[in-house]
């Protein structure tokens, strides 16, 4: 089976070119992105959040699938990386880029319940998971990637991933499926 996406966001190639220029090697891969677009399409009027914009590859996939009435808030603490995303995607009125540490954003969020949270950084995944899941609406989706070893991982990162996956069954308000597909994914829903 060919599981490569049959669609790609218009801005993706330019985003990836700029990522390479910056030496940024942690962009969302295409199969993960395709799934993100599909899941975003299932939340037609939802408020979505992305913790860890990077240069905006995941953002572009989410926007590709989003309904015109959906909204996305994308959080990133590295201003240079987020500037690439804003340059290529900032014209889309459905997205708001917030330059902040994800921990600080979680501390201060006071908006509507989230329909989907895509986590591509440590807060909301390796710590503060309960805080993020509490922000999801019932049936809200929780998606993380990079659960399979990546060349960009620091030497101590595998232990974080192993602990995260091992403790998932303890969560009474999150039902999820871990998949050894793409970069290693968890897709869950708040119950």
- For 167-176, write each residue's pLDDT tens digit: 999 999 999 9
Q: How would DSSP label each residue in the chain?
A: ---S-S---TTHHHHHHHHHHHT---PPPHHHHHHHHHHHHT-TT-EEEEE--TTSHHHHHHHHH--TT-EEEEEES-HHHHHHHHHHHTT-TTEEEEES-HHHHHHH--SSPEEEEEE-SSBTTTB-HHHHHHHEEEEEEEEE---S--TT--TTHHHHHHHHHHHGGG-TTEEEEEE-STT-EEEEEE-
- For 50-107, write each residue's pLDDT tens digit: 999 999 999 999 999 999 999 999 999 999 999 999 999 999 999 999 999 999 999 9
pLDDT for position 153:
86
């Amino acid at each position: 089976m060919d599981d490569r996406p049959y669609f790609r966001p218009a801005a993706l190639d330019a985003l990836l070119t700029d990522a390479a220029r910056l030496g940024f090697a942690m962009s969302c891969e295409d199969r993960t992105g395709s799934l993100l677009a599909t899941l975003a399409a299932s939340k037609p009027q939802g408020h979505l959040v992305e913790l860890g914009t990077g240069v905006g590859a995941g953002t572009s996939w989410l926007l590709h699938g989003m309904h015109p009435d959906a909204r996305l808030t994308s959080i990133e603490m590295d201003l240079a990386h987020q500037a690439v995303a804003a340059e290529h995607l900032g014209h889309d009125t459905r997205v708001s880029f917030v330059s902040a540490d994800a921990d600080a954003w979680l501390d201060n969020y006071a908006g509507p319940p989230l329909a989907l949270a895509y986590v591509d950084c440590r807060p909301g995944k390796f710590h503060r998971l309960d805080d993020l899941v509490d922000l999801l609406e019932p049936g809200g989706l929780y998606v993380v990637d990079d659960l399979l070893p990546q060349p960009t991982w620091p030497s101590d990162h595998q232990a974080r991933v192993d602990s995260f996956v091992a403790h998932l069954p303890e969560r009474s308000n999150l039902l999820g499926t871990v998949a050894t597909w793409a970069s290693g994914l968890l897709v869950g829903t708040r119950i």
